[in-house]
Structure 1
Amino acid sequence: MNATLPNAETLRAALAGLLDGLPPRQAARAVDRLIANYRGTTPTDAPVLRDRSDVAAYAAYRMPATFEAVRSALDALREAAPDWAPATHTDVGGGTGAAGWAVAGAWEGTRTTVLDWSEPALALGRELAELSGAPALRAVEWRRARIGEGPGLAAADLVTVSYVLKELTADTRAALVDAAAAAAQAVVVVEPGTPDGYARVIEARDRLIAAGLTIAAPCPHSAACPIEPGTDWCHFSARVSRSSLHRQVKGGSLPYEDEKFSYVVATRFEAGPVRERVVRKPQIRKGQVLLDLCTRDEALRRSTVTKRHGGLYRAARDVAWGDAWPPPGEQD
């Protein structure tokens, strides 16, 4: 990958430059309110990010985690369709542009439009894009729009909807997913890795399939999810490095955190879903690795890989939660 493309390090540097001098107490108060909204259950009919202090706090609190979650989903899309690249990208409810950063880091030359109803978020997103030094981010179009209302979305190769559905009513969520399906060649939906976040992803997955798209990730198939409703939920984890400001704002001491998220990727073009997906953190025990897998035969299964499996065992010791299984060249 071109070293000039934006990544997590350039995002942290841009955030540090923009937020330098932000009073930590002011940021912490805004973060407390945002956390209450983020964990709440009632959709809002007004922008969550009301002013610059809200937006700055959000950028420090959520933007690195959103970037890593979306980047992970895009990696799965690239794995399923390695020869495909989007020329155009619409980020619905994109706020300060975390998904745009992830797209710019995944493909060169993609033209991104960020839609959001919070003008302060769009303004700060523009500033961050300028600080990035990346031509693709400086060329992003930032457009104010009331999400889920008005005419459908303009045609785009890729539409991302990340951490947005929770803020909408059920009818508006459905309308937004339908609009994304009608507009895009590929749709990526990301939500918090909670039972209710997973439920919203499953609702979106069903609507995308009904609209004629097929599932490219994380599922190995486009049939019904094998998880019995109410018994479990499908989610994954992305490691997020924390800056000193990030630790101040979030009140943590560790240099990292693990962002739990649920997602779905659906396409109108041919893609190659993985044969099986690791859906829980592998359990490494003496002489064996236990893998929980979602499979192409529409089922969940536990695979025990032992030393007698040779290369497959060595691969299992290195496989991560969310990875494809088995690795290329290996047989289960």
Structure 2
Amino acid sequence: MTALVPPAESPETAETLRTALAGLLDGLPPRTAAQAVERLIANYRGRTPTDAPVLRDRSDVIAYAAYRMPATFEAVVTALDAFADAVPGWVPGSHVDVGGGTGAATWAVAATWAGERPVTVLDWAEPALALGREIAAAHPYLKGAEWKRARIGAALDLGGTGADTLVTVSYVLNELTEADRASVVDAAAAAGQAVLIVEPGTPDGYARVIEARDRLVGAGFHVAAPCPHSAACPIAPGEDWCHFSARVSRSSLHRQVKGGSLAYEDEKFAYVAATRFPPAPAPSRIVRRPQIRKGQVLLDLCETEPSLHRTTVTKRHGPLYRAARDADWGDAWPPADGE
């Protein structure tokens, strides 16, 4: 079940990140960068324990950051946009990014909520942390961030966080054992007032998100997004999966590696955002591409009940019909302003 959610990042933050990454690639031979990315794609995600990273040196990290950081940023900022809508008025007082590597999620948080706040990035790969620190110097909100080496697993200690802390765990659980995944989610729940989990938009990624969602709800959290409820997911296990898509501008490195001609690609991801305080989740969420027909739009919705339901919006609904024609997969429904 794919959902398409348009990116909503701060243009200034996105452009600053793209410029910083482009600057890093200067002087790195294109062939070297492309070969590094090909190797890292094959070996890094999901196949290597976090205590033995394959990001071996600066060249590896630069290549990987240039290739993956924009996609991770777009996915996380899209998830945060939906989350922010569910918690109007709440702003994180601090941010802890677990397994953050070069810090894409910290840029996404900075794009979502303006202002400086204490930021801590934890990762086992020292070269990634070093490069993340270097890139962050280009953003005024991230200059003071702390970059700390830590094992991401059963030994994870997030101590010292505040009551208004946001904990992000993006593209990390797929690298861990089942026991370590549980430990990381539990540590995030113990430390954060709000937790965001993002995983690849595959059936396995969705399964890990649901597993994390269940642990968060069991720890007393309320689901803020994308679900309109905190009850069990109405999707039958093994029959379908819920995931989303963020549009990513392709860099020259993306085009070199993939050989694609398009100026963009779509990053598929699954996520859950949850809070200790009661949020105001969407009344329902569009979970399939809207079907536009003559005089009507068919919307497949995940609803508060919880249930999956198809509704038909026709011209007789006036402004709501116009809104339905403009709606995207993943949007809240109905629109907050009723139009």
What TM bracket, shorter-length normalisation? over 0.9
Alignment partner of 1:324 is 2:329:
no
Partner of 1:117: 124
Check if 1:315 corresponds to 2:320.
no
The offset of 1:110, in angstroms, is 2.3
Give the aligned partner of residue 91 of structure 2: 85
| CA positional deviation for 1:43 | 5.5
**Residue 36 of structure 1: aligned partner:** 42
Residue matched to 1:218:
226
Q: Is the 8 A contact 1:24 1:249 kept in 2?
A: no
Q: Relative contact order: is structure 1 or structure 2 higher (C-alpha 8 Å, sep ≥ 6)?
A: 2
Q: Is 2:149 aligned against 1:141?
A: no
Query: Cα distance 1:197–1:48, how it changes in 2: closer, same or farther (>3 A)?
Result: farther
Alignment pair present for 1:69 and 2:75: yes
User: Pick from 93, 106, 110: which aligns with 1:100?
Assistant: 106
What percent identity do the matched residue pairs reach? Answer: 73
Whether 1:10 aligns to 2:16 is yes
Deviation, structure 1 residue 179: 0.4
How far apart, CA to CA, are the structure 2 residues paired with 1:96 and 1:151? Answer: 19
User: How far off is 1:21 after superposition?
Assistant: 2.2
When residues 319 and 168 of structure 1 are mapped into structure 2, their CA distance, relative to the original with a 3 A threshold, is same
Determine which of 281, 284, 295 is the counterpart of 2:303. 295
Per-residue deviation, residues 282-320 of structure 1 (Å, max 9, x unmatched) = 222232222111000110111222222211110011111
> Residues 297, 4 of structure 1: CA spacing in aligned structure 2 closer, same or farther, 3 A cutoff?
closer
Contact map agreement 1:111 1:136 (CA 8 A) in 2: no
Task: Work out whether residues 278 and 291 of structure 1, in 8 Å CA contact, stay in contact via their aligned partners in 2.
Answer: yes
After superposition, the C-alpha distances for 1:195-244 in whole angstroms (9 at most, x for unaligned) are: 00000000000000111111011000000000000000000111111222
- Conserved in 1, the CA contact under 8 Å of 2:46 and 2:175? no
Pairwise CA distance, 1:149: 3.7
Structure 1 stretches lacking a partner, 5+ long = none
Q: Distance in 2 between matches of 1:305 and 1:4?
A: 32
Cα displacement string for residues 44-64 of structure 1 (whole angstroms, at most 9, x for unaligned residues): 652242222221121121100
| TM-score, normalising length: structure 1 | 0.93
Question: Is 1:129 the counterpart of 2:136 in the alignment?
Answer: yes
Aligned length: 327
Partner Cα distance (2:142, 2:331) in 1: 29
For 1:257, the equivalent position in structure 2 comes to 265
Return the letter of the residue paired with 2:291: Q
For 2:271, what is the secondary structure of its paired residue?
strand
State TM-score, norm by structure 2: 0.92
